[in-house]
Chains A and B, each alone.
Chain A
């Protein structure tokens, strides 16, 4: 790296957002920047934000695709509320992100795209977006990126379209200079990715270097910045996004339990990547099947479960609705199955690419009949691995379907992941019946878990029939006996209650008893803990109780709730968890804070909310 003449300023943390047309490669640019930062030793969190349309009309706000990276020397729990740096590849990207700029932020503008035509397409009323957006006090950097890329790649035999495709790498190079990031790793990535088309590797690398040199030699930035490595728990790390984490968690559970993994699934945003990842893992003996619809996804999984596999199905809200009848088949047949719902904005097609926590009540109650089910939720991209593993462990050991809730925010977001050793993960004991077992009864239960035992087709002497009709206790034959239905209904409820033995106590972060208890569940953890910690630094007495186990709830839940004067439940929905809590603890008063904009919380709004409650 060349010696820089400009001043280098040290920063604790930075939020940078890459934004452009959905065809501009902003997701890749952001991913590369976040990987480079993680490799450098920063703590990192990311947030991809893209439209549902693959190619929405070019140059319009609807077609803007963004990728935000928050990296720091201190602990990073969220992708950040507002950005310090915005890369705007066209006027629409500027217009879409104006509201997310910190006062005085650096804005890198691709000046080649700031022409009258594009400015109008972006929906500006005047020809001067800077005045219109009141941006004169910001650090505006105009870079003619298209022109520079064409010039930099002029010696390569590339057509105009392929050349311009590299403009995102020019922007990335500028940002690498700005934050003193090494480029070597990214270069290696291109060499590997385009091993068969070396000209494309060369073009991307040249464009990136050109951007770096452009920033370096022209002195377009008043200074550059340095964000030192963070203090992170020692260990070996990699970057992981929540959807990959879920896929790998299932793969780990299969290896640990000695079962084969089967995934029956149908593509649906934002859950598809789990199926994609599992489809790659044939080398681990994983069978991932893309079937004809959501119902076939779960039904093939139920068939595979009956045949002795660790079976999973992956989906998002509308798909969960389609699967509900079959979930009940697994409930009554008492077969292990994990259903992952990567939640998105609803109802109906709703906001496919935006995040929401609004499937909670569907997961808990959205089925016919008395149908209790274990529900757990992951809270960060990196703990998706762990909770997928645990969901599979519970499903197998308790012989029941388990719903795992994640959402678009942690499913697509990525974070550093401390690589676990398989030997350190808990054992999984499938209750499989061995050949030669005398007097096997399909619905005889293990008194400790209430789970029935798993007799797998192909095992001599254990032939039996199960299905969706009510079963006679113990024998599992079809039964219409009135008293038996009541017994079996209660046994199924009792089975879910018995999961409690596997649920760790709820831990509170913050003051053990105090003015305010903040409650959250699932993906809001990062924002909630950041806001709580910020206020605690200012001497406020509050704490966070964050739930990953929704049904059953940790056994010390009530004890914790009663220690606080005020309780506020914060959710990205209209108040589904709070409604659930009110039914469980009817004499406790719960306040609620909700947001339904398809976006995560911001730290700022939470701080305001908690301050108001503490002062009120």
Chain B
């Protein structure tokens, strides 16, 4: 690992004017990304930011690193090529709910399955913004949009479910307003060797304003959000008196000191377990039955990832093969000479 370089977040800002709408949740995310890059101390030329198409996919223009603005849905595939070509690069994929889960669904799950050492940030605003307000694969059922004037009749994806289904090792979630949490998660994700997916619940002020109001409402947010930390009790609430327990095969939100529940009953978060059982339930928690989970929900450490396996295999083959140059290959096998 190279020595940590001292950077300021401003070192990662490009000279381009940021063109997201005022109040858009993407601004918060971008701040956090700049901060995380500075904190990581990886030299600027070794970062590559790749995106697809959509509002969030404009990010490449707003970072002062190498960056590539791709085509709709293909960011995960383009990133995969970048990373395999040069595993030494720190690759960020920035995508949205339409880009990653509709047109790019296939690349999304396969990048995770291969365990590419890439940090994929999915800005989920539950709507198509850049095309002006059509429903997305994460729009809630019944949502009225330009293309669902009578309400959608499609159940939405839960992005984390796809991550688990694709054998994902790292999944985290933050709100667009959680600048500090996002920064922490981005740093962790970049240091994690394997595919890391971070879902940012992002408010679209124009086409889906208030989608997360129930969670972010100042009065109640502490009761409706839970921040998970590996090794710590799953506690939430204004008074820190609520927690999650396992009730049979289900999670249950309880109040400590009520109905006989004590602190000892509260689950300790284990992000590092391979078993996805609890992670899946944490990912699926929704208000009002549960608080919504934030933080690093799953981070199963692996020593291996695609690039390291490829390198190992390549070295094995090179060591065993007698052919190391094109001239040797061209002259190998059955040949004959015409005088």
By a beta-carbon cutoff of 8 Å, the part of chain A in contact with chain B is: 35, 38-39, 41, 185, 232-239, 248, 251-252, 255, 260, 262, 264, 281-285, 287, 289, 291-293, 295-296, 299-309, 311, 325-326, 329, 333, 419-422, 457-469, 477-478
Contacts and interface: CB of A to CB of B under 8 A. Distances in A.
Interface string B72-88: 00100111111111101
A478 B57 CA distance: 14
Contacts of B69: 465-469
Nearest to A423: B327
Nearest to B109: A292
B331 to A, nearest CB: 6
B333 A238 contact: yes
Contacts of B86: 307-308, 457-458
A292 B110 contact: yes
Nearest to A459: B45
17 contacts: A233-B338, A236-B336, A248-B326, A248-B329, A252-B326, A252-B330, A292-B110, A303-B82, A422-B327, A457-B48, A458-B45, A460-B43, A465-B14, A465-B60, A465-B66, A467-B67, A467-B70
A477 B16 contact: yes
Nearest to A230: B338
B275 interface: no
A303 B66 contact: no
Contact of A462 (B43, B45, B63, B106): B45
B74 A304 contact: no
Most buried by B among A326, A460, A463: A463
Given A283-B318, A464-B66, A477-B16, A307 B85 contact: yes
B206 interface: no
Given A251-B326, A299-B78, A457 B89 contact: yes
Contacts of B80: 289, 291, 296, 300, 303
A292 B106 contact: yes
Interface in B311-339: 313-314, 317-318, 320-321, 323-327, 329-331, 333-339
B81 A301 contact: yes
Interface of B: 14, 16, 43-46, 48, 50-51, 53, 60-61, 63-71, 74, 77-86, 88-89, 106-107, 110, 310, 313-314, 317-318, 320-321, 323-327, 329-331, 333-339
Nearest to A231: B338
A420 B71 contact: no
Contacts of A303: 50, 68, 77-85
Given A292-B107, A419-B335, 8 more contacts: A252-B326, A264-B77, A284-B323, A287-B85, A303-B68, A306-B66, A463-B66, A466-B68
Contacts of A419: 330-331, 335
B6 to A, nearest CB: 16
A235 B77 contact: no
Contacts of A300: 77-78, 80-81, 84
B233 to A, nearest CB: 40
A463 B65 contact: yes
B84 A262 contact: yes
A465 B323 contact: no
B39 to A, nearest CB: 19
B323 A283 contact: yes
A356 B221 CA distance: 65
Given A35-B334, A41-B338, A252-B326, A465 B84 contact: no
Contacts of A468: 53, 69-71
B339 A237 contact: no
Contacts of B337: 234-237
B106 A293 contact: yes
Given A295-B77, A303-B82, A458-B89, A255 B106 contact: no
Contacts of B78: 299-300, 302-303, 306
B336 A237 contact: yes
A237 B330 CA distance: 9
A214 B145 CA distance: 80
Nearest to B84: A287
Contacts of A422: 325-327, 330
Contacts of A234: 337-339
Nearest to A296: B77
A598 to B, nearest CB: 31
Most buried by B among A264, A300, A302: A300
Contacts of A308: 85-86
Given A233-B338, A237-B338, A326-B74, A457 B66 contact: yes
A255 B325 contact: yes
B45 A255 contact: no
A325 B63 CA distance: 26
Most buried by A among B53, B83, B89, B329: B329
A287 B310 contact: yes
B82 A307 contact: yes
A282 B317 contact: yes
Nearest to A280: B317
Given A291-B110, A457-B48, A262 B85 contact: yes
Contact of B89 (A292, A307, A464): A307
Most buried by B among A235, A299, A329: A299
A31 B56 CA distance: 54
Nearest to A478: B61
Contacts of B16: 477-478
A307 B326 contact: no
A309 B82 CA distance: 9
B74 A299 contact: yes
Contacts of B63: 465
A95 to B, nearest CB: 35
A468 B43 CA distance: 26
A38 B10 CA distance: 67
Nearest to A464: B66
B314 to A, nearest CB: 5
B68 A235 contact: no
Contacts of A264: 77, 81
Nearest to A477: B16
Given A248-B329, A457-B86, A299 B45 contact: no
Given A38-B336, A282-B317, A419-B335, A465 B67 contact: yes
B318 A41 contact: no
Contacts of A39: 334, 336
A467 B329 contact: no
Contacts of B110: 291-292, 296
A306 B82 contact: yes
Given A262-B84, A303-B77, A282 B330 contact: no
A41 B45 CA distance: 56
Contacts of A295: 74, 77, 107
